[in-house]
Structure 1
C-alpha cells in the first residue's frame, strides 16, 4: 500500500499489506499429490499483528506437503480471496481439485466415529439427529450436504473430513510465528528443504526394497483382501463388469461396478482403493486387482512428489540488485507494548494539577522519590532495629 506522511505521498516507501509465496518444488510436488487442498490460518505473535495462511496437500503415503503460504492482515474475506486467487493462479492450476476449509463450525453428528459414506447411512444418522431435536437438522439443512457428507461429495475429498493436516503445519511453524516476515519466509524455506530431503530418501528406500505401494495403502489392501474370504459373488455381468456380491453370514448384498470404480459400500470410490467386495470380484473372475488402485498410492508417484530440489539461497551480496521501493510494516497492525496502558481520556484542570505536582515520599516526607525508593525505609530493613 502507498505510504503517507501527513497528506503527502512518500514515493520510495511502501507499506507491506499482504504477501503470498510458494516454492517451485512445492508447485511440482502438488502435481503428484492427491487432488485435495486444505487451507487454514493461524495468528502471528511478532511485533505486528496478522495471520499466516497455509495451504497443504497430501501424498499417497499420508505425508503432509505444504504448497503455499501468505501473510495477511487477518482472516477477512478480502484476505482469503487474495490467498485463494494466487493459489489458483500459481499452484493449483488444474480443475477437479477439492478444497477443504473450516468455514463452518465442526459438525457434531450423533455418531462421531464414522462419516456417512453411503446415502443409506446418511439418512439413518440424519433421522437419529432429528430425534434429538429439529433445531439440529434445521441448522444442518442450511449447509450443502456435499460439504460434510462423503456420500454426496462426488469423491473430491478422498476421505478427508477435517482440516487437521493444516493444524499439524501450524504446530510445526509455532516457533517461527513470532519472527519478522523475512525470517519467517526463510524458516519455511529451510524446513521444507529438510522435509523434502527426508521424504525422498524414505521413498527411495521403500522402492529399493521392492515395495510397489505406499505403506498406508498396503495395510488397507491386506485387511480388505483378508475380509474378502467370506464374500460370495452370486451373479455378475462380465461384459459390463458389474457384479453382485453377498457378505456371509449377514447376507447383506452390494453392487460393484468395476468399470466406473463404484461400490455400494462407498469405500471404493472415496479412497480409490479396492474394497473387500472388489477383491472378491477380482478373485472370482481372475482379474488383476492392482489396476484398480489409483496411481497416487504407488511409490514411484510418491517419489516424484519430492523429486524437485531446493536450491541454496547463497550470499545475499551476490543477489541481483533491487531497485524497488523500501517496505515498512503497517503501523496500524503494530502491537501495543507491554505494561500499563497509556491514558487516552481528556484531562481537566484537576488532572493537570495532579500531574504537575512533584512526588512526595510518605515515609520521610521529602520530595523527589516515593516510599518504595526511600533510603530510610531501606536502611531500617537492612539491619536490626536500633533501641
Structure 2
C-alpha cells in the first residue's frame, strides 16, 4: 500500500512475497518469463533493482500460486489424462508408479521428448515421458523392449560433437579435433580413407582411438543412410521453441500446456502449404531449393553412359579432372550427397538431362508435399470445461517428496561440463558492459554498485 513513488534500497517490504504478487499477471501469461525480465519489471514499477536471487525466488512463489501446489498437481494429473484419452481415441498414456519412499533416493524429474523431422526439415514431437532420471530411464526402457530398439527397427548413431569432445578429453590436442569431426562427416569411403590417413600420420594412437568406435555409428559413408545426414543431437533442442513456457509449472499444468502447444503447432503446420510445382509434382521448399541448386550446377558436366539401361554413368566437371560414377539403379553417386539426402545431386541431374530421363523419379517420396501434409493430419479435440468432465474413479497419484527439488535458492548447474564447454575453445570471455576481455558483466570494474533510489 506504499504511496511513495520511489522505494529506497533498504526498503524492508519489497521482499520476494511482494514481488511474487506484483509479477503474478506476467507469470500467468508466460510461466517461462526470464528472471532478468522480472528484475526489469520491478525496476520499472518501484524504481529499485532487486537481486537475481530474490527475483528467482519470487518467480517460484508466483508459479506455485498461479498453478497450484506440487502435491495437488500430481493428484489432478490422472483425471486430466483420462479425459484426454476419452476425447481422443488412439492416444496412449502409461503411468508407472513405485513406493512412496525408495531408500531416500534423490533425483530430479525430467521431461523426455522424442522428435522426428518431416520432408520440409520441420521438427515434429511424437512422444513425451516424465521420468526420474533420463539416463537410467532410457537404458531401462531399451533393456526391457525385447529387441525393439535394435536393427532393423532402430539404429544407434553417435553425435559427432560428443565424439570430438571425447577425443579432446583423451588426447588434449585441439588442433586435431576438427580432423576427427571431418572423418565423421566423410560421405564416401574414399573421403573417409583420406581423412583417416591424415589423422594416422599425426599419431597412430589417434587412429586406434577412432578404430574402437564402430564405423556405422559415426561415419556418414558407413551408416547405410539411416541418419539422413544428421550428425549431432542438436535436432532435439530445436523443439524448445514449441515448449517454451511449458516446463516451469507443476506437472498437471505442464501436461496441459504441452497438449495445447501441440494443437497449435499441428493446426498451424497443416494450414501452411508452401507448394512449389515443377512438371506436375509438388515438393517441399527444402527439396526444391536443393534441386534448383543442382540444376544450376549441372550445366558444365560431361556425361558418359556405360550401360544400355541408362543406369551407370561417368561424369566429369569441365573445370576439374575429378571423375565420378553415378549409379541410378543403386541411387548412388561418388560425391555422396545423393545417397545421404535422397535428393538428386547435380551429377544425377546432368545424367538425367543427357539421356532425357525424368529426374523426379529419384526424389524420395518423403519430400513430396502430399507426404509432408500427412504428418500433420492428426487433429486435437477440445477438452471443454473441467466442470463438465465425468467423475474420475481411478487410482490417485501421490507425489514422492524424495523426488522434489528444493527451490530455496537459485538453481545450481547440474550438467557436467566437458571440452565442448571449454572457454579456450569458445574464445575469451567478453564483458557486455565495457566490451573488454577477461571478465563478465557482473564483475566489470567500470560497473556501479547496487542501484539505489533514482539510479
The answer as to 2:358 corresponding to 1:288 is: yes
* TM-score, normalised with respect to structure 1: 0.68
Which of residues 114, 119, 122 is equivalent to 1:60? 119
Map of 1:161-172 to 2, 5 A cutoff?
161-170=231-240, 172=242
**Structure 1: 5+ residue stretches without partners:** 1-12, 29-47, 341-387
Contact between 2:131 and 2:137, CA under 8 Å: does it hold in 1? no
Which has the larger strand fraction? 1
Which has the larger helix fraction? 2
Map of 1:12-161 to 2, 5 A cutoff?
49-82=108-141, 97-98=154-155, 100=157, 105-107=162-164, 108-110=177-179, 112=181, 115-161=185-231
**Structure 2: 5+ residue stretches without partners:** 1-73, 92-106, 165-176, 411-455
Alpha carbons of structure 1 residues 337 and 296: separation in structure 2 relative to 1, 3 Å: closer
Q: Give the deviation of 1:124 after TM superposition.
A: 1.4
Which of residues 256, 275, 282 is equivalent to 1:206? 275
Contact between 2:305 and 2:313, CA under 8 Å: does it hold in 1? yes
Map of 1:372-383 to 2, 5 A cutoff?
none
The answer as to 2:259 corresponding to 1:189 is: yes
Higher Cα Rg, which structure: 1
Which of residues 301, 314, 323 is equivalent to 1:253? 323
Q: CA RMSD in A?
A: 3.7
SS of residue in 2 equivalent to 1:176: coil
Alpha carbons of structure 1 residues 174 and 100: separation in structure 2 relative to 1, 3 Å: farther
Where does residue 5 of structure 2 map in the other structure? none
Which of residues 397, 402, 408 is equivalent to 1:327? 397
Q: Give the deviation of 1:302 after TM superposition.
A: 1.1
Q: Give the deviation of 1:103 after TM superposition.
A: 10
Q: Partners of 1:103 and 1:271 in 2: how far apart? A: 18
| TM superposition outliers: structure 1 runs of 4+ over 4 Å | 20-25, 83-86, 92-104, 111-114, 207-211
Q: Partners of 1:322 and 1:182 in 2: how far apart? A: 15
Q: Partners of 1:104 and 1:223 in 2: how far apart? A: 28
SS of residue in 2 equivalent to 1:220: helix
Q: Partners of 2:402 and 2:368 in 1: how far apart? A: 50
Q: Give the deviation of 1:69 after TM superposition.
A: 0.9
Q: Give the deviation of 1:196 after TM superposition.
A: 1.0
Q: 1:301-354: per-residue Cα shift (whole Å, max 9, x none)?
A: 1111111211112222333432222112222111235169xxxxxxxxxxxxxx
Where does residue 355 of structure 1 map in the other structure? none
* TM-score, normalised with respect to structure 2: 0.58
